[in-house]
Amino acid sequence: MILLWLLGSALAGVPILAFWGDGRKGRWLFVAINFLVLLCSVLAAKDFLQHGPLAAMGEELRMDAFSLILVLLNSVVGMMTAWFSAGYWQQEVQHHSFGKGRQRLYHAMFQSFLATMLLALLSNNLGILWVALEGATLSTVLLVSLQRSGESLEAAWKYFILCGVGLAMALFGTVLLYFAAQPVLGTGARALLWSALHHHAASLNGTVMALTFVFILVGYGTKVGLAPLNSWLPDAHAAGPSTVSAVLSGLLLNVALYAILRYKSLADAALGPVFASRLLLAFGLLSLLLAAFSMLRQHDVKRLFAYSSVEHMGIICIAFGLGGPLAIFAGVLHMLGHSLAKSSVFFSVGRAVQESDSRELEDLRGILASRPVLGWSLLLSILAILGMPPGSLFLSEFLIVVASIQQAWFITPLLLLGLGTAFAAILPRLLQMLYGAPNSPKVMLSSKDLRPAFLQILAVMTLGIWIPASLDSWMHSVAGILQ
């Protein structure tokens, strides 16, 4: 029941914001709706604690520990983004003089993006999962092209076509899965339910499942931003509003990876664990290295951190590719830490870009002296993303390196090379941003708007030191769910 409330409140927000999503009331309505969603997901977590996995609508919706963790993460980051957006969007509206229609479009599409991602996480039907991810893509296309400038249109077109092709491949993979499931589960909607498939996964045809997983990995992998299919990602991040970059990096990439992992658990049971794990490891390493070296020559701050998202997705893929309880625990922790830290990076960077009216790293200098609050939020969030203790990314990266030494020592040097290169790419830029010769900003904006960024950094640091007992047990049980 609570699942329906959760999904319903998120979906109902879309038409509400489409009608009343302009001006001051629109911005606060957006916050209120996402607060309600957060409340519902906390209640769902409470239900989960009492009853275990929840289901609704005859197993069409289902929430186990893995989806619960990501639902909570999505609603927390969604709420924080809405809060940050209240100040950020006001400034954007003034700067670009967006009309009422454009403001409603922004809020409605943003809400539809958040709602479809929730649907993707809660759906037990792998067909609906695809529909939801496609819906999320379509909503963000309109968000990326919001400015209607040449650059944003080009980025949105590239995003649309590349992710469209990727999703078409994923749909082919879904069809193939249905094809494999028919002899075992018969026709009808049951044959696409993950829980039913997982129960019978060992009897699925191995050859078909291998082909399915390849299509799914390439298809949803485009959305995750795995190399070499990541060329849409930096463009879309740079061209869209920073709030959109925050949720693209923080949430969408996670949800697409979640879809791949659901399929991986089925492929593992049908084929043995080697096939899918090796593919995931290879794609993960390639993304990590490619992104890390691309970061060295970026001069646009948002593109820099977009590549950093590709790098982190690579690390997470390596964790899940390694498999085993330790690596999977680290992978889930890294998903959490990356989402929280990366969205606060984009909040801070977005604010800095607004104040200087430029995305060039050259123009963002000496922030710590002239604007200490913004400087600190940049410093803390970027250090967290670099994997500095006490942030939780330090813990998860450490665990992943340990797991790689235990299970596949030959990838450890490559992993360390990637991490080191990313560090070397970001740290000098960070220092310049903080301490370089000051550059007077075009406008000075209230630093109160940065509160969500600080709250999220606090959460990352807390997770690095102390993980709540219930969250810890959920994260431990993910390994069991995915096997």
Partner 1 sequence: MHPAIDWFSLPSLLKFLAAWMLLLSFALLAQRRLLSLIHLLAWQGVTLAVSTALVAELTGDRLLWLSAALTFALKGLLVPTLLHRLLRRLQVRGDVEMSLNVTSTQLIGIVLVIFAFALAAPLSGALPAATHGMLGIALAAFLLAFLMMITRRKAISEVVGFLAMDNALFFAATSATLGMPLIVELGVALDALIAFVILGVFFFHIRESFESLDLHWLEHLREDQ
Residues that bind partner 1 (CB under 8 A): 60, 125, 127-128, 130-131, 134-135, 138, 141-142, 145, 148-151, 153-158, 160-161, 164-165, 168, 171-172, 174-175, 178-180, 182-183, 187-189, 191-192, 205, 207-208, 211, 235, 294, 297
For partner 1, the closer CB: 47 or 154: 154
d(C-alpha 114, C-alpha 251), whole Å:
9
For partner 1, the closer CB: 192 or 384: 192
d(C-alpha 183, C-alpha 178), whole Å:
9
408-437 core/surface letters (b: 16 or more CB in 10 A; e: else): beebbeebeebbebbeebbeebbebbbebe
For partner 1, the closer CB: 94 or 149: 149
Min separation Cβ 422 and partner 1, Å = 17
The distance between the two most distant Cα atoms of the chain, rounded to a whole number of Å, is 68
Contact assessment for residue 122 and residue 41, using Cβ atoms and an 8 Å cutoff: no
Min separation Cβ 121 and partner 1, Å = 16
d(C-alpha 79, C-alpha 20), whole Å:
19
What torsion, rounded to 10 degrees, do the Cα atoms 141, 144, 146, 150 define?
-110
| Parallel, antiparallel or unpaired: strands 54-56 and 61-63 | antiparallel
Q: Return the structure tokens found at 59.
A: 């197993």
For partner 1, the closer CB: 152 or 356: 152
Min separation Cβ 61 and partner 1, Å = 12
Min separation Cβ 453 and partner 1, Å = 28
For partner 1, the closer CB: 297 or 448: 297
For partner 1, the closer CB: 128 or 330: 128
Min separation Cβ 375 and partner 1, Å = 28
d(C-alpha 166, C-alpha 217), whole Å:
9
Min separation Cβ 208 and partner 1, Å = 6
User: How many CB atoms within 10 Å of residue 223?
Assistant: 28
For partner 1, the closer CB: 192 or 322: 192
Min separation Cβ 200 and partner 1, Å = 15
Contact assessment for residue 31 and residue 243, using Cβ atoms and an 8 Å cutoff: no
Backbone angles phi, psi at 69, to 5 degrees: -60, -45
